[in-house]
Structure 1
Amino acid sequence: MFRISVLVVLICSMVTTESKYIGGYYASSALRTLDVSDINPFLLTHIYYAFVTVYSNGTLSIQNEAKGFVEPLAELKSINPDLKVLFTLVQTNKSLSDVVSNKDLRTTLIQNGYDLVKKYNYDGIDIDWEYPSSKDKDNFMVFLQELSEEFHKHNYLVTAAVCAIPTAKYGYNVSEMAKYLDVINIMTYDFYGAWSAHTGLNSGLYASSLDSGYEKKYLNVNTSVNNWVSSGTPKNILAFGVPFYGRTFNLTDPSSHGIHSKSKGAGKIKTPTFYQIEKYFADYTDVWDDEQKGYYKYLNSTWLSYDEQKSVALKTKYACDQGLKGLFVWHLGADDVKGEISGVNQTLLQTINDSWC
């Protein structure tokens, strides 16, 4: 089903190492669907199928199953035997809160998750709960313990995508979570957007000198990583997210177009993918913010924060320098997959691999 040249396979297998962790979320609902056959499986260590819906009775439903992506993703392991493929679970109508609070429902969900992983030859479950509340904290920890005990008996993985801010408000007991999870993926993006009173980088590596105390403490990759580490997460299971998309802002005053310029809502395309940015925003004025190590563009009243090769390479180096597990991307289909603009297939994903320590 999949055709990847022998030369590419040999070259990529030479540069893949066991210590590398590069996760990629496969968004089954993406408007511009990524063909599984376009994925070079040697550029990833883990692929997450997004999403599988959890219902309040503990049953599961694969989103967009009819599109036929589930089995082909697993078949990528026949090309790269070291690749791990996981299902990512999400809730509907607070279903995870209902399930984790009831022992029988927890057991049902764990069994259904196991059956799903086994049926499709996947390698584990990823929990994307946005977000548990403080009242869910104890139940969530019990669920993770029970899930990990069952899954680890079968050598299946248990991972979680988490908020960039590890506070009790979100129902996290960080040191307990770290006991049960193989990888903790911090969602280090959406720091600023249409909801913000002023412009800011979607996923700045460092803080801006213009930031408030709160922004410096929470709204950049570096402090997010440090906050999770100081809360009890070992670096060897901690990864952070690199967005393959940007966020637009509608400037209040087009003549004021820097960091922290006043804005009101988003531009016409709220979250353009990297591919769209390269194709449709090329005539914008491009600015590198050396303080935060990120890019923004502007034209008339539209302002755009985004990542491209330089910022992605620096984030990869940061993950290596900090001794982290690695990093992950949301989402694989947002890349310049076929190299239509850059000439390099899976441009940003290839940049991560080229920049690895």
Structure 2
Amino acid sequence: MVLAVSLLSFSENLSNTKENITLEDKDYKIIAYLPCWVGKDWIAEDIQGDKLTHLYLAFARINNEFKISNHDVRIPGVPDTVSSQTIIDSIWEEVRRVQKKYPDLKIIVAVGGWGADGFSDMAATKATREIFVDSVVEYLKKYNLDGIDIDWEYPVDGGGGTIEARKEDKENFTEVIKLLRKKLGEDKEISFCTNVSGWFLDVIEWEEVVPLVNSINVMGYDYQGPWSENTAHHSNLYINPQDPVAHWGLSSDAAIKRFINRGIPAEKLVLGFPAYGREFHGAQPGENGDGLFQKYQDTIWPGGSIPYTILKQYYVNKNNFKRFWDDDAKVPYLYDGETFITYEDPQSVAEKARYVKEMDLGGIMYWEYVDDIENDLLNSAYETLKK
């Protein structure tokens, strides 16, 4: 793995207003996914590239011609269900400004995302793989990007029928990665996302793929949510034994250890955390009066997801919400007697960053930058990793 930056030697007097900031010799990857679709507003001045090693632009898609594209139409004339989360043309000028300010910051295009289709069909034949990879080569050249992140979240599995999948996806995924490395060479980076479910370990040919990629980004979030029976943490570092579903092994620590026990080198694993919380409305207080691991009724926020910037402004120890800390799970949570919110804050992010160092992982990443636009969580990860 190409280790991107040495936080130990990183000069502390650098400012995010300084031009041509050098990011040489850091030890850990610090990766932020940056949403580039309508409604996720940011400008180059918002990006603290001196505290990042990588910025992932989300999301490009795979179009009907099996090419990487900023505009996805799966059926002629009918946009797919997640096309609202595709890269818009107006962001490229801001990207160029970020590139100019931080020339050593690796800027990567992320392809896919939750619910994104097209991977299985693209990977199914040698001819369609060639079309895709050739288009990636041209895309990276066109936008002067440093690599590609494959966010194919349901190979073989298909996400319960939400996207196209076939049993050959396992081998075909390998062929896509091999071809990308062959045609991109060693100068460009390749990474892919993995969820923490046990089934994902069985749908990737790890021995073939791992040597070819720069990092494997572990999505350490959404362990629990509006689909769960009880309130719970959605990005806990460790398992609280009081959790009714503790036997499921849903924690970042458990996930990382499953990968390592499978023989995946720790230095290739990048631990992810969320910059958003999950909300459960109508939660019972329980014996401790804090709403943790209790029955609830529904959610109020769309998808039950609340950006950290909103949590900080309106919820954390405000408007009758009290912040609690689970010292077993190493995460905070909020409760006002009715609504329970699981989320990350600077304390829990620091715990995860220390875990990255203790386990000799490749680094840390988060979804997503705009949800932490004031950089509270990023600052915590950076300050912890550079010590």
Q: TM-score, normalised to structure 1's length?
A: 0.88
Percent of aligned positions that are identical:
25
1:285 aligns with 2:318: no
CA distance in structure 2 between the partners assigned to 1:223 and 1:230 by the alignment:
10
After superposition, what is the alpha-carbon deviation per residue over 1:82-123, rounded to whole angstroms, capped at 9, x for unaligned? 210011111777311001011100000000011000111000
Identify which of 201, 223, 233 aligns with 1:191.
Answer: 223
Identify which of 121, 125, 133 aligns with 2:144.
Answer: 121
- Tell me how many residue pairs correspond in the alignment: 343
Is this contact kept in 2: 1:286–1:298, CA < 8 A? yes
1:237 aligns with 2:268: yes
Identify which of 36, 52, 55 aligns with 1:47.
Answer: 55
Write the letter of the residue equivalent to 1:320: K
Identify which of 96, 102, 109 aligns with 2:125.
Answer: 102
Q: Which residue of 2 aligns with 1:228?
A: 259
Q: Report the secondary structure of 2:45's partner residue.
A: helix
Is this contact kept in 1: 2:15–2:50, CA < 8 A? no
- CA-CA distance at 1:140 after TM superposition: 0.9
- Closer, same or farther in 2 for the Cα pair 1:89/1:318, shift >3 Å? same
Write the letter of the residue equivalent to 1:312: V
Q: Report the secondary structure of 2:217's partner residue.
A: strand
The correspondence of residues 296-307 of structure 1 with structure 2, limited to 5 A, is: 296-307=333-344
Q: Which residue of 2 aligns with 1:83?
A: 105
Bigger CA drift: 32-41 or 19-28?
A: 32-41
Stretches of structure 2 that go unaligned for 5 or more consecutive residues are 1-12, 72-85, 158-166
Bigger CA drift: 296-305 or 188-197?
A: 296-305
Bigger CA drift: 7-16 or 222-231?
A: 7-16
Say what the alpha-carbon RMSD is for the aligned residues. Answer: 2.5
Is this contact kept in 1: 2:192–2:215, CA < 8 A? yes
Shift >6 Å, 4+ stretches: none
CA distance in structure 1 between the partners assigned to 2:15 and 2:365 by the alignment:
26
Greater share of helix? 1
CA distance in structure 2 between the partners assigned to 1:7 and 1:322 by the alignment:
30
- Closer, same or farther in 2 for the Cα pair 1:301/1:23, shift >3 Å? same
After superposition, what is the alpha-carbon deviation per residue over 1:48-91, rounded to whole angstroms, capped at 9, x for unaligned? 00000112431222155445223432442332232100111117
Is this contact kept in 2: 1:207–1:219, CA < 8 A? yes
Identify which of 94, 97, 102 aligns with 1:72.
Answer: 94
Write the letter of the residue equivalent to 2:235: S
- Closer, same or farther in 2 for the Cα pair 1:101/1:62, shift >3 Å? same
Write the letter of the residue equivalent to 1:102: T
Is this contact kept in 2: 1:164–1:218, CA < 8 A? no
The correspondence of residues 146-295 of structure 1 with structure 2, limited to 5 A, is: 146-153=179-186, 155-168=187-200, 171-211=203-243, 215-254=246-285, 257-268=290-301, 270-281=304-315, 282-283=318-319, 284-295=321-332
Write the letter of the residue equivalent to 2:366: V
CA distance in structure 1 between the partners assigned to 2:88 and 2:205 by the alignment:
37
1:25 aligns with 2:33: yes
Q: Which residue of 1 aligns with 2:377?
A: 348
Q: TM-score, normalised to structure 2's length?
A: 0.82
- Closer, same or farther in 2 for the Cα pair 1:89/1:305, shift >3 Å? same
- CA-CA distance at 1:175 after TM superposition: 2.8
Q: Report the secondary structure of 1:131's partner residue.
A: coil
Is this contact kept in 2: 1:196–1:263, CA < 8 A? no
Stretches of structure 1 that go unaligned for 5 or more consecutive residues are 338-345
